[in-house]
Chain A
Amino acid sequence: MSLAEILRFARALMQSYDLVAPRRKKGRITLGTLSDAADLELEFPPSVHSPKKFLFPHWDELFRFKLEGNVLLEAESAAPPRVIFGMHPCDLHAVKILDDCLFEGETDSTYRAKREATLLIGVDCVPDEHCFCTSLGTDRIASGFDLFFHRRDDKYLVQTGSEQGRQLLADHAPETMAREHEAPLALQVKQCKSHLQFPTESLPLLMKDAYEDPIWKRLGDDCLGCGGCTLLCPSCYCFNVQDKLELDLKEGQRVRTWDSCQFDQFAKVSGGDNFRASQSDRQRHRFYRKYKYLWDQHQRTACVGCGRCSRECLAKIKPTEVLNELFCQAPPQQQPTNPGSEYQPQMAKVERIEVISSEDRLFRLKIPEQFTFLPGSFLQVSVFGLGEAPFSIASAPDGTEEIELVVRRAGALTQALHRVRSGDSLGIRGPFGNGYPLEKMQGHDLLLIAGGRGLIALRSLMLALLSQRENYGRITLLCGARSIESLLFQEDLLDWHRSGLVDCRFSVNEQHNSWGIPAVDVSYLLRDLDIDASRTIAAVSGPPEMYRQINPLLFRLGLADEDIYLNLERHIKCGLGKCGKCRINNICVCECGPIFPYSSVKHMAEAIER
C-alpha cells in the first residue's frame, strides 16, 4: 500500500473504530485517539506508555453497585471497538505476556472484553539507546497482530495475522484485496546500544543463584520507589481494587487501578507487617518477576526489552546493567573457557556390577569427585565409539563418591555397557536436571507411585527419605510392574515392606504371580488409599500413559497441582538445554526437569497429553 492508501485506510477505520495511534505531546510520543488521519505516523521511537493503557487501563470499572439494598449492577460501558495502529514488535510481545497472565486460570473478563474489541496493527520501529529487544528476541514477531505494515522502499507491504485483520482490509481498503500475495518481509535487523552479554536461556539459572546477591541492596539504596518502572512497563499488570462512590453516597463503582510492587505499601497488611519491607526486597521482586518467576511458568521473560523502565528512571536503574553484572560475577564454571569441555566426560571406575533382572544390571561407579544432586537427576554415560545416553541415578544423594545406575539392555550402547566388567572405566557427565524437592517434602506425608522403570528414580528418593526417616510423615509406596520378573530392586522392596517404615503396595499385570499380589494396574492401588491430601506430596515416576491415569485420581484425592511431582523423561542428548531434543513445547527437560510439579507443566500440551 502506498502512504496515501494507508491514510485513506486510516480515515475509513475512523468511521467505525476509535483509532489509536502515536501523537506528539510536548516533544514525546504518546498513544491516543487520532482526530485527523493525516497525522498518522508509521515510523516513530517507543511511546511513553505502551498500548497497555488501552487494553488494561489505569482506571477500569469492574462493576457498579447501589449501597441501599446491596444491589450489584453491571459495568456501565462495554469496550469500544478500537484499532491500535502502531504496535511495535516488543509491544505485541507484551500483549502476549498479558494474555498469558490474565487468561490463565480464571479469565480476566474485563481485560478480555477490551482485548477482543481491539484490533492490533503492527509497524516496525527504530530502537533508541534504552531498547534491548534484540537481546530478548522481541525485535521481531510472527504472530499476535491482526495486520503488520512492513516498510518497503516508499510503500508498505501489509501482512495479515488474523482473519479479523484480513476482514479489516477487505472492508476498509478493498482495493488491496485483488493484489498479488507476496511472502512476508523479514523485519529489519536492528542494532540496540543496550544488550545482554549472554543468551536469555541462561536467565533462569542466573537468577536461581542470585537471590542473596548484594546487588539488590545496592539497587534498593539507589531506587526512589516512585514505581515509574512498573507503571510504564508494557507487561506489568499488578493492580489495586477500590470502591469509588458517587457524591450522593447512594451508588458507586468498584474500580481497579494500577498498583506497583515498588510502592512501600504494596505488601503491607492491616496488622502493620510489611512482607517486602525494604526497597531492596521490592527491586529484587521486580527483577524476579520479570526474569525468573514468569519464565518458570511460561518459559519466557516477562520483559520485552522496550526500555521504558530505564528511560524514565531518575535513579538510572537499567535492567541490562543489572543482569550483565550478575552474569559477570556468576561462578566461572558456568562459562567454560575450554571450547567443548562441557561435552567432555570424566572417567569413573566401575566398582561392582549386579544382575538385577534378565535385562537389567546395576552399576556401582566410583566418581572422580563427589557431587550433589536431587533424586530424579540423571547422568550421561559415554562409551567411546557408540556415544552417550542418559541414566537416572538410582542411589541416594548421600554425598559419597559412589553412585548407582541401572542399565537395561536395549541398543548397541547398553549392550556394550552390559559387556563392561568391574574395574573398567566409563565416561560420565553430570549430574543434570532437577529432582524431587527433598527440602519441601520435610514434615509432609509422601505418596510415591512407581510404574516399571520409573522405580529407579524413586529408589533414589526412597533411600534419601529413609536415611532421615524422622523428618518425614507417613510414606506410602505404590509400585506396579508388568511382571514379578521385571520388578526392579526386589530385595529393597521387600526390605522396605518388612521394615514397617514404609507402607508398600504392589501390583503386576500377571495373574497367579509368585508374590501373590493383585493382577491389576497400579492405578487400582489408589482406590482404597487413606491419605490426608492436605499434608501429602506425591512423587510419580513411570511411563507417560501412567500420568494420564494417575493424575485424575490424585486430583480426586484432593492433592494440589503443585504437590504432584512427575518424572517427565524425554530423549535427552546434550543435557545442557541446548540441543532441543528433550523440549516439551518450549522448555528443555534436561534443564527444568525431568522432575516437574504438575502446576508448572499443566499448560503445556506436549507434557502429558502429547
Chain B
Amino acid sequence: MKTRIGFFDFTGCEGCQLTVMNLEDDLLQVLQLVEVVEFRELMSEEVSALDIAFIEGSITRRQDRERLQAIRARSKTLVALGACADNGGINLLASDQDVAALRRQVYASDAKHLQTETPLPLHKVVKVDYRIPGCPIDGREFLAVLQALLLEREPDLPSFAVCVECKLAEYPCSFDYGEICLGPVTRAGCRAICIAGGDRCRGCRGLVDNPRTSPYHRVLEEQGLNLQDILEQYRIFNIGEE
C-alpha cells in the first residue's frame, strides 16, 4: 500500500504548500510512491488516518490547537512545513504586542469572532517529529525529507551555515557590500537563494545547531551594530529560537 500523506495549513501564507505544488513534474513522480489523502489546495476529501502529515502555519486560535491535536492523533508522523510551523517565523513578530490591540487593529469590527491569540509554533502544542525549515521551504529539501521518511531513514538537514552555500557558488559576501547578513548563523539548505538574488540572508531557516554567536556578534559590532540592532536582526525570523 502506498504511503498516505496529507497537507494541512494554519496561520501562514500557504507559500510552502505552493512550493510543493510548484514541484509539478517531480510531484507527479512522487505520486507513484505516495497517495495524497488530504490537501485543501487540491481536494476536499478527509481521512481518518494517515502516515505523514505535513503542516504549514502557526497556531493562533483555540480551535486551531484542537484541530492540530486531532491531526496529530490520526497521523503516524507529523512534519512542520516551513518557518511558521517550525519556529513561528514572522508570525512571532506579534508575540511581544498586546493581542487585543492587535486584533482590533487588524480585524476592526470582526475582531470579536476572530479570537486570535499569541502565535505558537507547532511544537508548543503537539509533538513534532520532523521539520522542514524556511520561508518558504526549499522544494528539493521537501522531496529529500519525504524520500528519507519513505525509506524509514532519519531526514537530515544541513548542519552548517548558509556561508557554505555562498562559498560553493562563489557569491560575493554580503558583508563586502556593507550589508548585515545572517548567513553565518543560519542553517544552510536554501542554496543561498537570497544572496544569489542580490539580497542578504535574513535567517528564515533558523539557526544552525551550534551558532557561533560570540564571534558573529563581534563581526556585527564591527559593522556598527549595538546589541539592540543585533536582536532586531534576529527578530525577523528567529524570535522562536529563544
Contact = CB atoms under 8 A, between A and B. Distances in A.
A314 B218 CA distance: 10
B199 interface: no
A225 interface: yes
Interface stretch (B12-20, B40-48, B99-107, B167-175): B167-175
A249 B143 CA distance: 11
B32 interface: yes
B193 interface: no
Contacts of B151: 245, 249
B30 A226 contact: no
A249 B33 contact: yes
A249 B219 contact: no
A30 B167 CA distance: 12
Contacts of B215: 221-224, 315
B170 A227 contact: no
Given A231-B167, A249-B33, A226 B161 contact: yes
Contacts of B212: 223-225, 279
Contact of A26 (B33, B164, B167, B172): B172
Interface string A16-56: 00000000011110100000000000000000110000000
A299 interface: no
Interface string A237-260: 000000001011100000000101
Contacts, number: 78
Contacts of B82: none
B241 interface: no
Nearest to A225: B212
Contacts of A249: 33, 147, 150-151
A62 to B, nearest CB: 19
Interface in A475-496: none
A228 B159 contact: no
Nearest to A314: B219
A265 interface: yes
Interface string B135-168: 0000000010001001100000001110110011
A247 B29 contact: yes
Given A226-B184, A245-B147, A249-B151, A48 B170 contact: yes
B143 A247 contact: yes
Contacts of B171: 26
A263 B160 contact: yes
Interface residues of chain B: helix, strand, loop or mixed (majority): helix
A359 interface: no
A342 interface: no
Nearest to B185: A224
A232 interface: yes
A231 B168 contact: yes
A26 B197 CA distance: 12
Contacts of A264: 159, 209-210
A58 B160 contact: no
Interface residues of B, number: 30
Contact of B159 (A30, A248, A265): A265
Contact of B219 (A221, A258, A265, A315): A315
Contacts of B109: none
B214 A247 contact: no
A263 B214 contact: no
A249 B144 CA distance: 11
Contacts of B219: 224, 314-315
A28 B167 contact: no
B26 interface: yes
B184 A224 contact: yes
A255 to B, nearest CB: 13
A224 B167 contact: no
A129 interface: no
Contacts of A314: 163, 173, 175, 184, 219
A578 to B, nearest CB: 40
A49 B210 CA distance: 27
B63 to A, nearest CB: 37
B29 to A, nearest CB: 4
A315 B219 CA distance: 7
Interface string A208-222: 000000000000011
Interface in A286-313: 312
B184 A231 contact: no
Contacts of B143: 247
A91 to B, nearest CB: 15
B32 A27 contact: no
Contacts of B163: 224, 226-228, 314
A85 B181 CA distance: 35
A590 B210 CA distance: 46
Interface string A537-572: 000000000000000000000000000000000000
Contacts of A49: 170
A189 B147 CA distance: 56
A225 B160 CA distance: 8
A213 B67 CA distance: 58
A84 to B, nearest CB: 16
A226 B160 contact: yes
A389 B233 CA distance: 69
Contacts of B150: 249
Interface in B20-69: 26, 29-30, 32-33
Nearest to A263: B160
Nearest to A227: B164
A284 B33 CA distance: 47
Contacts of B26: 247
Nearest to A274: B210
Nearest to A231: B167
Residue from the set B26, B170, B173 with the largest chain A CB neighbour count within 10 Å: B170
Contacts of A27: 172
A225 B161 contact: yes
Given A248-B29, A248-B33, A263-B159, A226 B164 contact: yes
A265 B158 CA distance: 10
Contacts of A315: 215, 219
Contacts of B161: 224-226
A312 B173 contact: yes
Contacts of A247: 26, 29-30, 143, 147
Contacts of B184: 224, 226, 314
A221 B217 CA distance: 12
Contacts of A26: 171-172
Residue from the set A49, A232, A314 with the largest chain B CB neighbour count within 10 Å: A314
7 contacts: A227-B160, A227-B163, A232-B167, A247-B143, A248-B29, A260-B160, A315-B215
Given A227-B160, A245-B151, 9 more contacts: A223-B215, A224-B212, A225-B210, A227-B163, A231-B167, A247-B29, A260-B164, A312-B167, A314-B175
Interface of B: 26, 29-30, 32-33, 143, 147, 150-151, 159-161, 163-164, 167-168, 170-173, 175, 184, 209-210, 212, 214-216, 218-219
The 3 A-B pairs at the shortest CB distance, nearest first, are namely A226-B163, A247-B29, A48-B170
